[in-house]
Each structure stands twice: as structure tokens, then as C-alpha cells.
Amino acid sequence: MPAHQHHSATQGQLADVLPAVAASFGLSGIDGAHAPFALAPNRDVVVLLIDGLGANLLERHRELAPTLHARVAHTIAAGFPATTATSLSTLAIGAPCGAHGIVGYSFGLPEQGSGRRLFNSLRWRFDSARGADARADLPPREVQTSPSRLEKLADAGIDVHYVAPGYQERSGLTRASFRA
């Protein structure tokens, strides 16, 4: 399909991106996943997730990003809710939020000794984005126990790197979802 034509149908979901990348490296099905769309065989792949940039927004403002707009071959569904924490986890783990447990930016936790608490998963804090650090009470690798697709790629010999904002470098969310 020429770069300037757009596929009108959504093909796959955010959770399907890394299986497609693995397949492009010749590692199809390394974790039992099947990619519903194909990428050309590659030696190097860059996955760029731009927070808040969806297909509709890009289409409405294509004059602001003509090169990016021209390269759209198909779109994928982000899932619901499409918050940063949930989407990053869905991409990295390759599962919807109901499976990985990062179900929103903030959500209520089951009642414990001190009562019910709000959990901010993006900042991994209690009660608000500026609340108490939750990493000791909610160890990231115990909250989200599934290995990430990035781990699986690395285990298969792929050199994996990621870039994130400084505050996320060793955050609870990064440790839980990217398993870094």
C-alpha cells in the first residue's frame, strides 16, 4: 500500500505490537502470541508510542505532522481505558488491563487494615499523584507478575532499549510493566 493511502479499518490492538516486532525478527510465537498484522522482516525496530496521539487526532491535524501522517499504513486499538499507565502496561505486557491489573490512571484498591485507598498507578503512589510512595506496600513485581514482552525479546537475544521520562526511570510502573 502506498504510504499516502490510509487503511480505514483498525487491525489489532496495542497488545499486538510487540508480537509483530518479534515476528519481524523471525521470532514468531516466542510467547505463544500471534500478531494479527505483519511487519517486514527487520534487523532493527523502533516502537514510538506518543502519549495522547491517536489516529483520529493525527487525521484531523495531518498538516501539523505530514511525514508521520503519510506513513500510517493501518491503525490499532488502544484499549479501554486508554490512559498512559494502562496503555504502557498493555504494550509492554501484551495483555489487556483486565489481565495485567493496571486498570487506570488512578483506581481504588481493595479494603485493607486502614480502609480503602486510591492508587495512582502512573506515579505508583497512594491517594494522589503526590501521595505517599506505594512501592514498599505494593511491590511492582508482586502487583504485576507477568513477564513483559520486552523481557521475552531480551531472553531471545534481542537487544532491547527503552526511553521514558526521568521520573519514570525506576518508577513502580516501569518496574511492574517493563520489568526494568
Cell matching residue 27:
521470532
Residue 62 lies in a domain: yes
How many domains does the structure of the chain reveal? 1
Residue 53 lies in a domain: yes
Tens-place pLDDT, residues 2-27: 343 444 456 789 999 998 888 888 88
Residue 1 lies in a domain: no
> Does position 62 have pLDDT exceeding 50, yes or no?
yes
Mean pLDDT, rounded, of the chain? 86
Residue 2 lies in a domain: no
Instruction: Give the residues across from 99 on adjacent strands.
Output: none
Q: Which class for 143: exposed (0-12), middle (13-18), buried (19 or more C-beta within 10 A)?
A: buried
pLDDT for position 180: 66
Give the residue numbers spanning the domain of 56.
10-178
